Amino acid sequence: MGLSGLSVELTLQWIWAASLEAELADDREQLGRLVDATVSEWPPEGGEWDVDAMSYFRELLDDASFLPDWAAAYVILDGRLVGTGGFFGPPNCDGEVEIGFSVCRFQRRQGVARALVARLCLIAADRGCTSVRARTTMQNTGALATLRSNSFTPANPGLLVDGISILFRRSLQ
């Protein structure tokens, strides 16, 4: 699925078992073949996409009730794997879905995260969600700027969700 009309042209490829197994084996060559992209920095340094996240999604893939369209996707730009982003499962009973994103250092500050979050919000809206939430820390100035530039606002200003993270929310209505 290509993304145009924003500052960058991204392609999203939803995760699958073989790609996650290549990641967990730290086999960048195999991951590159699977996603048909050049893989240099992976996983994104200093990002949220790490072995724990990979393992979490890999376990979910074995669950018969798992919906892969509500999971993570690889982000490809100009034939290079530049990040990951997606959903932490389907929307809740209120129609709200949570997103996450992580961009490789070499591609940061070039509009990738902003375009990715915008695309995830469009996907959520197209699927009938009423709002999108995301968490980040006060120290992650890039994520804070990305969320704000995509019309997210703090859900509970001044309150930390888990003692570390701030919850942001964006209405899709």
Instruction: Give the global pTM.
Output: 0.89
Rounded Cα distance between 83 and 76, Å, is: 7
* C-alpha dist (Å) from residue 31 to 15, 25, 39, 63: 11, 10, 7, 23
Q: Evaluate whether residue 164 is within a structural domain.
A: no
Count: domains in the chain: 1
Res. 160: pLDDT tops 80? no
The predicted-structure confidence for 86-139, as pLDDT tens digits, reads as follows: 999 999 999 999 999 999 998 899 899 999 999 999 999 999 999 999 999 888
Q: Evaluate whether residue 136 is within a structural domain.
A: no
Average pLDDT, the chain: 89
The predicted-structure confidence for 27-55, as pLDDT tens digits, reads as follows: 999 999 999 999 998 998 887 788 888 88
Query: Across-strand partners of 166?
Result: 136
Tokens of 31: 């991951």
Q: Evaluate whether residue 22 is within a structural domain.
A: yes
Structural domain boundaries enclosing 8: 2-128
The position carrying tokens 């100035």 is: 141
Cβ 132 vs Cβ 116: under 8 Å:
no
Q: Evaluate whether residue 20 is within a structural domain.
A: yes
Q: Evaluate whether residue 172 is within a structural domain.
A: no
CATH code where residue 14 lies: 3.40.630.30
Question: Would you state the pLDDT for residue 117?
Answer: 96
Cβ 88 vs Cβ 98: under 8 Å:
yes
